[in-house]
Amino acid sequence: MEKFLLVLEVITTCCAVTQSMTGQERSEEKSECVSLSPMMEAVPAPPESERVCVFGTGDLGRSLGLRLLQAGYGVVFGSRRPHSSSSLLPHGAQVLGHAAAAQSAHLIFIAVQREHYDFLVPLANQLKGKVLVDLSNNLKKNQYPEANAEYLQSLVPGAEVVKGFNTLSAWSLQNGPSDANRQVYICGESVEAKQAVIAVAIKLGFSALDRGFLSVARELEDFPLQLFPQWRLPLRIAIGLSAAFFFYLLIRDIIYAYVTQSKDISFRIMVSLANKVCPIVSLIMLSLCYLPGVLASFLQLYRGTKYRRFPDWLDRWMLCRKQLGLLALGFAFLHVLYTLIIPIRFDYKHASLSLFQIRENRTTQFDMTTAWRGDSYLSLGILGFGLYVLLGITSLPSVSNALSWREFSFIQSKLGHLTLLLCTAHTYLYGWNRFLSSSTYKWYTPPGYMLCLVLPSVVLLLKLLLITPCVDRTITRIRQGWERGADQRNPKDSQPLIP
């Protein structure tokens, strides 16, 4: 209709009608416009004459066709057996043989598996100059020597191949774009061809990104095959830490008890041990999540500028902070559950013992300090976990998108460090006076909760340094684009918005 209006505009103007005319008056003008040029045929030209063609009547082909129809395009399916396949096809679409279909449109979506591309070779003539959109994906990476799109181009040199839409599932096509998968990535040699595809994408409600030349196709084809790329590293760390501490505690608790008192308490692996590993790993991961930020600040401080790239390892680390934090939350969640079921365990006396050495006191006289310490310990844990959960919620895509950059950084940085502080204090209170008593160090090894306190303590100390007024001021200026030793007369090409 935009076009329609515009054509009208053209007409009206060539009728020398004043701008102030309304669309309606224009449509009345039309009749008179006949004589001044065959233009008014422009009007009946129904926009759905923007016809596109879809090769392939599989799930994806059908979904795409339906979507195109609904967006107002005329759709022609190309099929090897037009009649048999037409049954499943969306209502309103034409079905023709491949050759005829190719004739009928400038833009052709290829929703066919790569193995069957060869059927396109005989169509070379009909496809000359057409835009072929390669939607295909592979089952695993590097399945073939070259990308499907490049292979397609080599089969039909006359056509302009554009790789795109392959990151969408038939499902998301049918149900329309939603937040995260609104992005469609395309690549190809011809700018015009890409523009044509972008236009279609926009009309379907997607936003298309041109990733460059056809050589990028392989990369695009690997997208849908990715399995949590950013989660790999954090998961490995989590698993590694869990395993390490599991065996460490296995030896210190179960085996030690067995060797020294020849007492078999192996059953405690299931809950007691698990409930020691979880909090330890959780706390370490949480501090690993805030350490890189602190390091980066010190690096900027040392360099005196924000315009130099961070070393790659730091960049990678910064990029998986979110995942580190969420895994830490997961372990904290398990820790909470494991702690809460302690009272309903059959060996209640045991568990409580394993929980606080000071349980006996109950029978003996009442100790005020112990009372304070015990309750503070629990209370800090609860508050820490509460904030933990809050951080988790705000890292949900839809929530974090709703936050302004300043709000997000406030929560993730300020509240994040507060959470770390609470959880660390929680652990210190758990250790309490046992840090000193030699009995704690079985076989001269420190208990797990002591080991896991090292990292968070370091992070908190460094952070403390950073927020001291003088250091803080410098950091802020650097982040605003100030460079140590740069002459201040030239404009700084920078933005306060970005940290």
Among 169, 215, 242, 445, binds a second copy (CB under 8 A): 169
Nearer residue to a second copy within complex by CB, 85 or 457:
85
Among 151, 333, 428, 432, binds a second copy (CB under 8 A): 333
Q: How far is the CB of 96 from a second copy (least distance, A)?
A: 12
Q: How far is the CB of 164 from a second copy (least distance, A)?
A: 12
Nearer residue to a second copy within complex by CB, 444 or 493:
493
- Asked if 294 touches a second copy (CB under 8 A), the answer is no
Q: Which of the residues 242 through 271 are near a second copy (CB under 8 A)?
A: 264, 266-271
Nearer residue to a second copy within complex by CB, 15 or 295:
15
Nearer residue to a second copy within complex by CB, 25 or 454:
25
- Asked if 125 touches a second copy (CB under 8 A), the answer is no
- Asked if 337 touches a second copy (CB under 8 A), the answer is yes
Residues 468-497 as x/- pattern, contact with a second copy by CB under 8 A: ------------xx--------xxxxxxxx
- Asked if 445 touches a second copy (CB under 8 A), the answer is no
Among 96, 124, 170, 299, binds a second copy (CB under 8 A): 170
Residues 41-60 as x/- pattern, contact with a second copy by CB under 8 A: xxxxxxxxxxx---xxxxxx
- Asked if 436 touches a second copy (CB under 8 A), the answer is no
- Asked if 398 touches a second copy (CB under 8 A), the answer is yes
SS (HEC) of the chain: CHHHHHHHHHHHHHCCCCCCCCHHHHHHHHHHHHHHCHHHHHCCCCHHHCEEEEECCCHHHHHHHHHHHHCCCEEEEECCCHHHHHHHCCCCCEEECHHHHHHHCCEEEECCCHHHHHHHHHHHHHHCCCEEEECCCCCCCCCCCCCHHHHHHHHCCCCEEEEECCCCCHHHHHCCCCHHHHEEEEEECCHHHHHHHHHHHHHCCCEEEECCCHHHHHHHHHHHHCCCHHHHHHHHHHHHHHHHHHHHHHHHHHHHHHHHHCCCCHHHHCCCCHHHHHHHHHHHHHHHHHHHHHHHHHHHHHHCCCCCCCCHHHHHHHHCHHHHHHHHHHHHHHHHHHHHCHHHCCCHHHHHHHHCHHHHHHCCCCCHHHHHHHHHHHHHHHHHHHHHHHHHHHCCHHHHHHCCHHHHHHHHHHHHHHHHHHHHHHHHHHHHHHHCCHHHCHHHCCCHHHHCCHHHHHHHHHHHHHCCHHHHHHHHHHHCCCCCCCCCCCCCCCCCCCC
- Asked if 158 touches a second copy (CB under 8 A), the answer is no
Nearer residue to a second copy within complex by CB, 274 or 418:
274
